[in-house]
Amino acid sequence: MEITNKRFEFIDFIKLIGLIGIMVAHVDAPDWALMVRAFDVPLMVMLSAYLMRYSYDRHCLSPDFKDSSFIMSRILRLLVPTHIFLVFLFVMYAVRGHIFPLDFYIFTFLCSLYGMAYVWIILIYIYTGICTPIFRKFSRFKGFSVIILLLYVLYEIMYYKGILVDSRLFVNTFYYFIPYGAVAYLGFVYPAISKRLKVIIASVSALIFAGIAIYIRVATGHFERVSIATFPPKIYYLSYGIAVSYALMIVFETLDLSALYKSRFVRFVSDRSLWIYLWHIFALAVYDQTVLSGFWYLELAAVFFSSCLIAFIQSIIVKKLRQKTELKFLKYL
């Protein structure tokens, strides 16, 4: 069991890259930018699993530790902030006269794909938390990696055969739990495997992506963005995401960029990444109504820095509130 309180500064920096990549997808960016940034969600899932490995080990030190309590704490840390934000956002929409159908509210608070598009990733993070105790218990067995691979192959077969593909419940569970669970596993084992194996994983993933891209080019006469294989995630999208994510982790883990990694801004963005992500949804709603929406790079900069600013102001207010009260829900803010 690896227990450490060390802060992984290079992970903080890569998380910043991933967060910006996700925001690129939500502004009206050109095709080349949307193609380049398509590693963002797999990267963020890997980083989440990477950090959760050590978080789980620290929690194990508690004498009354239970896997169920760890999973519940992860779920609450994701859902409580998300639900608080959604209440605020929907109130703002209601004030402006935008009322949505009841099922839209229900699916959004469930972080379902059938609700607000931006919050489905919260469900993926929850799946990562659920997988962590399983990974920790079984990852030391060599056959476990084969089981993960076989489950992923089964997932691909079931999707292309159209098995239960129209079931909403099935789409929100199996078709996301399995592929992103496999991606999370690659993030979870990253600290424990050799650099040689890391390079092999990145290289094989890159070759798979290149092979599929060339096949599509020959079959259709043009290249396709990986986004065509995003919902649900399939091998064309995931191979690209895994290749780029592992390459970034290998490079930035190797480089000695201490001054950059230890930047207060980088650390702040990493620590407050969930709230920055949530506030970017609000910022998008604001800037989409302005002239900035016609210039994707300006809108991206405005959305990112506005989200960071709101999160910073929020952190100051919460800090002052904590000094005056011991309300437990403040820890989620």
% the chain with pLDDT above 90:
73
Q: What is the mean pLDDT of the chain?
A: 91
Structure confidence by residue, pLDDT tens digits, 222-275: 889 898 889 889 999 999 999 999 999 999 999 888 888 889 999 999 999 999
Per-residue pLDDT band for 3 (boundaries 50, 70, 90) equals: low
At 262 the pLDDT is: 86
Distance CA 226, CA 155 (A): 18
Distance CA 131, CA 2 (A): 17
At 164 the pLDDT is: 62
Q: Of residues 66 and 244, which shows the higher confidence score?
A: 244
Q: Which DSSP letter does residue 294 get?
A: G
Q: Is the pLDDT of residue 4 over 90?
A: no
Distance CA 269, CA 65 (A): 30
Rounded to an integer, the average pLDDT of 299-321 is 95
Structure confidence by residue, pLDDT tens digits, 147-206: 999 999 999 998 888 776 667 777 777 788 999 999 999 999 999 999 999 999 999 999
DSSP 234-274: -HHHHHHHHHHHHHHHHHHHHS--HHHHT-HHHHHHHHTHH
Predicted TM-score (pTM) of this structure:
0.95
